[in-house]
Amino acid sequence: EEKLVTIWQDLLGVKQIGIYDNFFELGGDSIKAIQLVSRSKSADIHYQVKDIFSHQTISEIALHLKDANEIIQETGILEGYV
């Protein structure tokens, strides 16, 4: 949650953000949601843009991450023709 607060503050330009504040009410939009997911991924927090629309607070996202915990990661070298 602390990492997400910092990411939201930087992205939205809001100094104080609580874990129950709504992303869209703080000035977030669909483009910022894409940027949010990208910045979160850089901080090793993985979720999808659609999750922002379903879980609009840091608290909800954190709970979703704990419940989902089914990130698909690369398991090896992919080979084949394209």
What are the structural domain ranges in the chain?
2-67
pLDDT surpassing 60 at residue 9: yes
Whole-number Cα distances in Å, 72 to 21, 48, 65, 77: 29, 12, 13, 14
pLDDT surpassing 60 at residue 56: yes
Task: Work out the mean pLDDT of the chain and round it to a whole number.
Answer: 87
- The region of weakest confidence among 4-13, 25-34, 42-51, 65-74 is 65-74
Residues in CB range of 77: below 8 A, 6 or more apart: none
Architecture of domain 2-67: Orthogonal Bundle (1.10)
What pLDDT was estimated at residue 71? 47
Strands (E), the chain: none
